[in-house]
A and B are shown apart, each in its own frame.
Chain A
Amino acid sequence: MTGSRRFARLALLRLQVELLTFFRTPDQLFFTFLLPVLFVVVFSTIFSGDIQGPPGEPAVPFPQYFVPGMIASGIVSVTFANLATGIAIEQHEGLLRRLAATPLPRSAYFAGKVALAFVTSVLIVIVILAIGVAAFGVSLPREPAKWAVFAAVLFLGAGSCSLLGIAYTRIIRSAGSAPAVVQPPYLVLQFISGVFLQYSVVPGWLQAVASVFPLKWMAQALRSVFLPDWIGRDDYGSWQTGTALLVLAAWFAGAAVLARLSFRWSRGQG
């Protein structure tokens, strides 16, 4: 068997085990899928009004605005948060050490993790979209170009945030503290990136902070897929879709380097 075929086979086997583990862990399933669904339901129910546009433009119902942001947030959750937490736990509880003692290539382990993040990203996109469309009348774009942007954001966002999650494990000091170390930055980014509220409400200096990180650009580009251009002008000046994709691609490459430099395969007594 050639090296690349062996790698592909092992990465697939790892993905299979990752998926088995994921779907057999009810807490994780709950937080991963039910939480965003709950958010969509609660926020769309509370803010059921419309966003009023300039004269001549039809108003936009709030769920249409909220759902793409929630999709961006959901992707960050199943990539960055889930991988950082999951890998840190495996690292500190010695599961990584078990794997490190075998001929399994380390790259196959990470490939399995990132593949899990992609699969769960696609699932969460489907779940949120399904609820948005079925319960809150969210309308889907028709133009193939918009779906292409959607796919690009999904790919670049999930990829960069997965790698950031791997790098982030460096600052997690124990299995028990993993969620507490992972959730705060994610939560703060959700607020300042305008996931839960209109981006234009966020103060300028916080917008500047948010603009450094991928979530803001993911939410912005996904909104461009679902919303008319005047919202882009109101909220962001313009949709800046090209810029958003470039920033995400840069994060993808940067996060790959960061993950490579900062990850420690085994941690423990020194």
Chain B
Amino acid sequence: MAAPPAIAARGLVKRYGAVEALAGVDLEVAAGEVFALLGPNGAGKTTLVEILEGFRRPGAGEARVLGEDPARAGPAWRARIGVVFQSAGFFDVLTVREVVAHFASFYPAPLDPARVIAMVGLDGQERRRLKHLSGGQKRRVDLALGIVGDPELIFLDEPTTGLDPEGRRQLWAVIRQFAALGKTVLLTTHYLEEAEALADRVAIIIRGRFAAQGAPAAIGGREEGRATVTFHPAGRLAEAPLPPLPGLERLPDGRVALATAAPTRAVAELARWAEALGEPELPGLEIRRPTLEDVYLRLVRAHDAEADAAAALPAGGSA
């Protein structure tokens, strides 16, 4: 029998006045999975996470997190989840050690505070008061407070915002370490490479809806969609006419590009063409799949265009 999902939500809707922050979201995250929520600001990421954390009630729909309704769950449930906040206030005059140990004391079976401090890379800073820490060091405290209870499920709201690249790698390592222990992670992020580096699955949320969902490598048709083949014709290839492949075009920088759903066949054709001209190689040959960023930007633009069209309709009707 499969383990019950860590998170199961159906038809979540949340309105703030006229604004629909969530417009019917279904989400299922398996136990032990790392799931990333990607989306522009105001897309509904935080609202969704806050509903799952039990800080907000949905207007409609139903959520189960570790088998319980987050809006009603009590301290025993809280002991099983960890929340890494994005920009919550701090206990400024307490030291790193004091605040981590204090939070540890709330949990039935916490991790050793000293170990957690080392895990997030704050060893040597134990005796410093939080107000004297840099922004990046405070993010590490955020993470420490979220994991010190040794939770089964961790919510991370933009965990590496404000960190330098090294700090980001270090936090990724901590998150991976947790995932390797079979814990479930739900993270929101602005950074596509972060979602790609950490997540088993990604959902792109736009205007309160999931626009796409899947493994980072496959989302938005990345595996099936059109790939772009480019090469830089030099020597004899530059002078010869191009083979009759539909869609082949010369770029301003002198390269030749072809967007195609069958890149393998295109490369084979091009190779034969070059071979016939006595060139064994296609210089600068590249086959590029759409990146997560390409998919993301395409979806965001498509939705913006849709919204603009929808907004233009009533204006056009009344004119």
Q: In the complex, what's the smallest C-beta–C-beta distance from A230 to chain B, in angstroms?
A: 49
Q: Chain B: how many interface residues by the 8 Å CB criterion?
A: 28
The 6 A-B pairs at the shortest CB distance, nearest first, are namely A93-B89, A94-B88, A103-B75, A101-B83, A24-B93, A103-B79
Instruction: Determine the distance from Cα of A269 to Cα of B98 in the docked complex, in whole angstroms.
Output: 30
Interface 9-mer from A13-21, A144-152, A190-198: A13-21
The answer to whether B107 and A102 touch across the interface, beta carbons within 8 angstroms, is: yes
Per-position binary interface string of chain B over residues 79-103, scored 1 when its CB falls under 8 Å from any chain A CB and 0 otherwise: 1011101011111011000100011
The answer to whether B98 and A101 touch across the interface, beta carbons within 8 angstroms, is: no
Q: Does A130 contact B (CB under 8 A)?
A: no
Instruction: Determine the distance from Cα of A105 to Cα of B103 in the docked complex, in whole angstroms.
Output: 12
The answer to whether B94 and A21 touch across the interface, beta carbons within 8 angstroms, is: yes
A105 in complex: contacting residue of B75, B82, B83, CB < 8 Å? B75
Supposing A10-B105, A21-B93 touch, asked if A102 and B78 sit within 8 A by C-beta, the answer is yes
The answer to whether A270 and B98 touch across the interface, beta carbons within 8 angstroms, is: no
Q: Does A100 contact B (CB under 8 A)?
A: yes
Q: Which of B139-158 contact A (CB under 8 A)?
A: 145, 149
Q: In the complex, what's the smallest C-beta–C-beta distance from B50 to chain A, in angstroms?
A: 9
Q: Which residue of A lies closest to B46 (CB)?
A: A269
Q: Which of B45-88 contact A (CB under 8 A)?
A: 53, 55, 75-76, 78-79, 81-83, 85, 87-88
Q: Does B191 contact A (CB under 8 A)?
A: no
The answer to whether B106 and A104 touch across the interface, beta carbons within 8 angstroms, is: yes
The answer to whether A97 and B85 touch across the interface, beta carbons within 8 angstroms, is: yes
The answer to whether B85 and A98 touch across the interface, beta carbons within 8 angstroms, is: yes
Q: Does A25 contact B (CB under 8 A)?
A: yes
Q: Does A42 contact B (CB under 8 A)?
A: no
A95 in complex: contacting residue of B55, B88, B149, CB < 8 Å? B88
Contact partners of A92 in chain B: CB under 8 A: 89
Q: Does A229 contact B (CB under 8 A)?
A: no
Contact partners of B53 in chain A: CB under 8 A: 101
Q: Which residue of B lies closest to A1 (CB)?
A: B108
Q: In the complex, what's the smallest C-beta–C-beta distance from B150 to chain A, in angstroms?
A: 12
The answer to whether A10 and B55 touch across the interface, beta carbons within 8 angstroms, is: no
B55 in complex: contacting residue of A17, A21, A97, A104, CB < 8 Å? A97
Q: In the complex, what's the smallest C-beta–C-beta distance from A8 to chain B, in angstroms?
A: 13
Contact partners of B103 in chain A: CB under 8 A: 102
Q: Which of B107-131 contact A (CB under 8 A)?
A: 107-108, 129
Q: In the complex, what's the smallest C-beta–C-beta distance from B221 to chain A, in angstroms?
A: 35
Instruction: Determine the distance from Cα of A95 to Cα of B82 in the docked complex, in whole angstroms.
Output: 15
Instruction: Determine the distance from Cα of A21 to Cα of B53 in the docked complex, in whole angstroms.
Output: 28
Q: Which residue of B lies closest to A175 (CB)?
A: B89
Instruction: Determine the distance from Cα of A89 to Cα of B88 in the docked complex, in whole angstroms.
Output: 12
The answer to whether B106 and A10 touch across the interface, beta carbons within 8 angstroms, is: yes
Q: In the complex, what's the smallest C-beta–C-beta distance from A193 to chain B, in angstroms?
A: 33
Q: Does A234 contact B (CB under 8 A)?
A: no
B91 in complex: contacting residue of A13, A17, A102, A269, CB < 8 Å? A17
Instruction: Determine the distance from Cα of A89 to Cα of B16 in the docked complex, in whole angstroms.
Output: 25
